[in-house]
Structure 1
Amino acid sequence: MKDSGFFQEFEVFSKRSDTSPLQYQFSLLAPNQELALIMAQENFMRREPVADLWVVKRSDIRKMSVEERQSLKRLDNKDYRNTKGYGYLKKKWRKYEQEMLDEKEILSWGGKPSND
Structure 2
Amino acid sequence: MSKEENGFYQVFEVFSKKTDTSSLQHQFSLLAPNRDLAFIMAKENFFRREQVADIWVVKREDVKRMSQDERESMKQLNKDYRETKGYGYLKKKWRQYEQEQLTEKDIMGGGDK
Where 2:85 maps in the other structure, the secondary structure is coil
What does residue 2 of structure 2 align with?
A: 2
Structure with greater Cα Rg: 1
Percent sequence identity is: 60
1:49 aligned onto 2:40: no
What does residue 40 of structure 2 align with?
A: 38
Where 1:20 maps in the other structure, the secondary structure is coil
What does residue 29 of structure 2 align with?
A: 27
Structure 2 stretches lacking a partner, 5+ long: 89-113
TM-score, normalised by the number of residues in structure 2: 0.65
Q: Which amino acid aligns with 2:62?
A: D
Going by fraction, where is helix more abundant, 1 or 2? 2
What does residue 17 of structure 2 align with?
A: 15
TM-score, normalised by the number of residues in structure 1: 0.64
Structure 1 stretches lacking a partner, 5+ long: 87-116
Cα distance in 2, alignment partners of residues 39 and 18 from structure 1: 21
| Greater than 4 Å deviation, 4+ residue runs | 75-79
Query: How far does the alpha carbon of each residue in 1:18-46 deviate from its partner, in whole angstroms, 9 at most, with x for none?
Result: 10110111110000000000000011221
What does residue 108 of structure 1 align with?
A: none
What is the Cα-based RMSD across aligned positions, in Å? 2.4
Where 1:35 maps in the other structure, the secondary structure is helix
